[in-house]
Amino acid sequence: MSTRSKVWAWVLACLVVAQIAVSLSLRRPGFLLAAFSDGIQGALLFCAALSCLPHIFQTTRRVRLFWILMGLGLTSWLGYQALWTYIEVVQHRDVPDLFAGDAIIFLHFVPMMAALALQPHVEQDDRELRLGSLDFALLLLWWVYVYIYSVMAWQYIHPDEAAYGQNLNFAYLIEKFAFLGALALLWVRSSGRWKTIYAHWFGASLLYSLSSFAATWALYLSHGTYYSGSLYDLPLVASMAWMAVPGLLALGLPKEHGPIQKAPHRGFWTARLGMAAVFSLPIFAWISFFDRQVPESVRGFRILLTLGAMVLMGGLVFLKQHLLDIELIQLLRTSRKSLEEMQSLQTQLVQSEKLASLGQLVGGAAHELNNPLTAMLGYSDLLEKTHLSGDQRALIDKISLQARRIRTLVASLLSFAKQSPAAKSDLDVNTIVQTAIKLCYPQIQVAKVQHSVSLADSLPRVHGDSNHLLQVFSHIINNAVHALSDRGDGLLLVITRVEDEQVIIEFADNGPGMADPGKVFDPFYTTRPVGQGTGLGLSMCYGIIQGHGGKITCRNRAEGGASFVIELPMAKHQMAEKPHAHAHAAKL
């Protein structure tokens, strides 16, 4: 325990000892004893409420709300004690039997029970917290309803001191039992420092319940043996001092102390209590209607009160169901999105494994092919220098041509297998796109393809290799131009934009589209005729984009044609900046 906690503990102990000394020395009721006793109890309740204050500033989220609600309950109790002290000490009169302030002492347990329902010692998500607030509202309305139903009816509708006191004591006893039961449940289920905190709160609340019951018995059944400052107040004062101990013990926890254990499988007992409160209303209405022992005015008041409570609590139930429906729809959408992302990730993993395995295989095979290939090219060159007939020379030319094609293929295989990243820097994607368009412009012009470029203003930079990205963009543009070469109205669209901290580059055309967009990145998959493509270009593009931490996808457009979308992450120093990109169309 810290030095500050020890000072607080000494202050509490001195206050309790002072109360004991005064109660033993002044054994007769009087103004001095009542004033001193009321002052001591107010000071102790002030210390108990104040013990929650540091944790409100030192904690966050649910734990902070827990301490706020506990402090609110203790502050309400302090407010009731202040009213009691004002009447006895300032006004020099006894507290009336039909006291309107009794509602405060009755309802001060409600925020404390709501604090316990938060279960700050376990981990919960915000969804449970939002729904739990509605359950708390249901329980709050129910306790207010119970107080008005059982107590205030005898205070304002049909004043009766005996019935008022009897109903107040019975309802307050039930409330204290409910609070003690919740504390006992949390005490059993918790562990560590929280278990100790709950144990002290349970002990203090149990002592308070027993002492208040004894004081009530002395007041109503022992005819005047209880008075302010009597010996019956000693355990009551001790329980008030004990209420500050949990807050002092929590001072030893770290500043951001929070949940220390996983949430067990709970039966959502708070929600069930809320539903039980709603279903109890018809029982109260039935009792009110058939109980002929109470005055007619009280019966009518209780029936109208119950009907009003049904409307209010039914509205809360409807609101909770509406929120649950919204949560369910959001969960379904999130689950669907997660499934789609998982399938996409699985596809990318399979593709990466294919590329990695194939890269290792073709890397070794290409090196082995180079030796006999070099010999074949050398012998074909020697044969070309000898005297051959026309048919023989034509055959030698074919052999040389096919050997060189094989060498080109082997070079592509080696380039595919290496995938070695070059030095990276922060790049302007728009500049690389414009450069790729200029490099491919002769092919675009020959194929008579129209093209439109829409570049986002203030596009964030990406961290990468300009040569590799230029190679990717040029290859995709050339593929699109090749697909559009047989059309007279071919159109190529190039678009850049920003979405969710990703720089998006989209290449779209109005060509015939892809036969199987899911396979375009597979090695050796090509739609060109035999001899016009190796099927490794898009695989290399896939590897380059992945090496940049991005993603490339292919799909067929609904209006016809294919679309390649490349996603590249922003440079790290620009992650916090999200510029508003205004797209502008440029006709090159």
Residues 44 and 190 in one domain: yes
Per-residue pLDDT at 564 exceeds 60: yes
Residue 313 or residue 587, greater confidence: 313
Residues 396 and 447 in one domain: no
CATH number of residue 18's parent domain:
1.20.1070
Question: Where among 220, 247, 262 does a domain terminate?
Answer: 262
Residues 127 and 106 in one domain: yes
Kindly report, residue by residue over 46-74, the tens digit of the pLDDT: 998 998 888 888 877 778 888 888 999 99
Least Cα distance to 505 among 451, 459, 471 occurs for: 459
Least Cα distance to 484 among 545, 541, 440 occurs for: 440
Residues 365 and 473 in one domain: no
Residue 310 lies in a domain: no
Residues 402 and 521 in one domain: no
Question: Where among 262, 290, 317 does a domain terminate?
Answer: 262
Largest CA distance in the chain: 141
For every residue of 308-360, which 3-state class applies, written as one string? HHHHHHHHHHHHHHHHHHHHHHHHHHHHHHHHHHHHHHHHHHHHHHHHHHHHH
Residue 487 lies in a domain: yes
Residues 448 and 366 in one domain: no
Per-residue pLDDT at 539 exceeds 60: yes
Residues 437 and 377 in one domain: no
Residues 454 and 401 in one domain: no
Per-residue pLDDT at 463 exceeds 70: yes
Residues 365 and 452 in one domain: no
Mean pLDDT in the chain?
A: 78
Average pLDDT over residues 524-549: 66
Question: Where among 209, 243, 262 does a domain terminate?
Answer: 262
Residue 504 lies in a domain: yes
Residue 344 lies in a domain: no
pLDDT reported for residue 266:
42
Residue type, 201: W
Kindly report, residue by residue over 233-250, the tens digit of the pLDDT: 888 889 888 888 888 887
In the chain, the number of structural domains is 3
Residue 372 or residue 421, greater confidence: 372
Residues 478 and 394 in one domain: no
CATH number of residue 503's parent domain:
3.30.565.10
Which range of residues forms the domain containing residue 541? 425-586
User: Do the Cβ atoms of 291 and 299 come closer than 8 Å?
Assistant: yes
Residue 445 lies in a domain: yes
**What is the rounded distance in angstroms from the CA atom of residue 40 to the CA atom of residue 23?**
11
User: Do the Cβ atoms of 554 and 563 come closer than 8 Å?
Assistant: yes
Give 335's pLDDT tier (boundaries 50, 70, 90).
confident
Average pLDDT over residues 287-302: 85
**What is the rounded distance in angstroms from the CA atom of residue 339 to the CA atom of residue 345?**
10
Per-residue pLDDT at 534 exceeds 60: no
User: Do the Cβ atoms of 121 and 261 come closer than 8 Å?
Assistant: yes
Token output for 544:
């380059």
Least Cα distance to 257 among 34, 489, 63, 122 occurs for: 63
Residues 552 and 495 in one domain: yes
Kindly report, residue by residue over 185-223, the tens digit of the pLDDT: 888 888 778 888 889 999 999 998 888 888 777 766 655
Average pLDDT over residues 71-83: 91
CATH number of residue 387's parent domain:
1.10.287.130
Residues 466 and 539 in one domain: yes
Residue 294 lies in a domain: no
Residue 190 lies in a domain: yes
Residue 408 lies in a domain: yes
Q: Strand, helix or coil at 205?
A: helix
